[in-house]
Structure 1
């Protein structure tokens, strides 16, 4: 077990903020933990799940100076799920509900990362690298589904992942919910971490207009064109209306992070323009909106 500490000089609250980071091997758990450490969180790496309540008790002790705590856990160990569920039950009984972040990536990205460091997958055994990845993904399916936040690191380098972590976890203390709006191109695949997916291909494609082809949805001329099309503004307003009861429900269930994926063909024009407008429309003092244009620049 490795401990990285960044301690605050201020007295910690009775129940510190608590985040558990887990996920697929090679997806970037350590990078995510380091990014949180840089933000001032106290990070405990490679912690057995059964020790989560003891760690929380230490952090909440009157003499503790820890106000924000991160535990990185490896979910591949035998008996992990029973230990993890038992630990969460204990923590809930003590008035603490850690936010669980699941770090994921597609098979292609994981294979590339393992091959770049010339290491076998921990569950590979005598089989292929992909066999180990598939075995781990099958073991973690339920944990991924139950996590508060799934982060897809496919195609991200360590710096981009660190920035994504800072954008989502950092921010104003008054923020109760964070909505990550991810524009993407369907031809590059749907984001793995999307809670909701919307298709903007019902709108005319600016790609076929020569004057707009080389611009993006962040440029005023493309944004104006997309939003002036029949159905575009109506979609934004109806989406905002749809989200109101959903956001209230997410908050009542303790969800603090939602990822909404907005797609078009290449992820350059329509999805970008709509995601930008939705970010403006949904932002409130209690709801932070964060933009990620996943495929911008790939064409």
Structure 2
């Protein structure tokens, strides 16, 4: 007498292996995960694929944990040859973490896989690159006493520099670059939650940044405006210790005869460009304004832009950041979600 074979579910095994899932989910015509016509054909409901990569120590793991808490299916460091088998069903959201530790990692190969995924119909694919300044990464590795994945022992900085060079082509094609150098972990979490949590996170996410030219341009900036020609409150003894967040400093800057045409020029430019970004499906835009110290003029202009931004384009939530003030320990991060064109933000 022969006994019936128990099913895999009855003995606690998964019903299908990854290979079996791939063979079943992409049937007919000798299909395989590499056959783009078979992966995403049919109805127009999108499959959402978010690929997160970046420098070790910059916050990629934090971003993946937050996305997982938001209900996304997260796969960290899968072998590259399995990416095709991971394509989600229509209407589902998948997050894939990739870095230099991933099995089979080669930058050209990742770029090839990225292009293949983006070419699939009904698939919304975004690449997010998480980074930080080398000195910041060095401090983080030193504080945690962790070993850099590209350095077996000894100095950490060469590993940081080597990794940045390896990943540079990915950064160049990223849909969003998140620089966590001056972004505290709670605000990185809030950024991820706001942008990828659904609902209010849809649409164009804009980041408004003030900065000081001597400290370097924000690398993630899409557009940069130079406010150094405006009169400088730094040379006014009463205003020097204050910032552009204070009304008397803002009034001083705005009293310059050149301020209004300059500001209106920025508004006109953004009013032209941002709607086109939305039409093209761009997900992120970083607008930066710089001055000599990043404390008065650039801060004033960024604050003024935050008040009019919802009128310029159908933007989603946007962030206001004053980089140099943050480096001085002044908490200035502000998220704003424009309901019906009005800014509703709270200083963090």
TM-score bracket, shorter-length normalisation: 0.7 to 0.9
Distance 1:198 1:245 in 2: 15
- Matched residue of 1:155: which SS? coil
Distance 2:150 2:265 in 1: 46
Distance 1:236 1:69 in 2: 41
Q: Which residue of 2 aligns with 1:166?
A: 193
Matched, 1:260 2:287: yes
Matched, 1:72 2:100: no
Distance 2:201 2:61 in 1: 28
- Matched residue of 1:210: which SS? coil
**4+ aligned runs moved over 6 Å, structure 1:** none
Counterpart among 196, 210, 231 of residue 183 in structure 1: 210
Q: 1:293 to 1:168 in 2, by over 3 A?
A: farther
Report if the CA contact (8 A) 1:182-1:261 is conserved: yes
Report if the CA contact (8 A) 1:52-1:87 is conserved: no
Q: Which residue of 2 aligns with 1:43?
A: 74
Q: Which residue of 2 aligns with 1:28?
A: 59
Structure 1: runs of 5+ lacking an equivalent: 1-12
Counterpart among 126, 151, 172 of residue 145 in structure 1: 172
Counterpart among 311, 314, 319 of residue 286 in structure 1: 314
Matched, 1:110 2:137: yes
Report if the CA contact (8 A) 1:125-1:132 is conserved: no
Q: Deviations over 1:92-124 (max 9, x none)?
A: 223213111100111101111111122221112
Distance 1:83 1:160 in 2: 29
TM-score normalized with structure 1 length: 0.82
Task: State the shift of 1:274 in Å.
Answer: 0.3
Distance 2:306 2:46 in 1: 31
Distance 1:276 1:211 in 2: 21
Counterpart among 56, 60, 66 of residue 90 in structure 2: 60
Aligned length: 281
Matched, 1:274 2:304: no
Equivalence map 1:66-105=2 (5 Å):
66=92, 68-75=93-100, 77=102, 78-105=105-132
Report if the CA contact (8 A) 1:120-1:129 is conserved: yes
Counterpart among 273, 277, 287 of residue 246 in structure 1: 273
Structure 2: runs of 5+ lacking an equivalent: 1-43, 330-348
Distance 1:252 1:17 in 2: 19
Distance 1:54 1:149 in 2: 25
Task: State the shift of 1:168 in Å.
Answer: 4.2
Report if the CA contact (8 A) 2:294-2:323 is conserved: yes
Higher relative contact order (Cα pairs below 8 Å, separated by 6+ residues): 1
Question: Bigger CA drift: 257-266 or 14-23?
Answer: 14-23
Distance 2:256 2:121 in 1: 53
| Structure showing greater Rg | 2
- Matched residue of 2:325: which SS? coil
Q: 1:180 to 1:203 in 2, by over 3 A?
A: same
Q: Deviations over 1:47-78 (max 9, x none)?
A: 33443343233x427xxxx4x43221124543
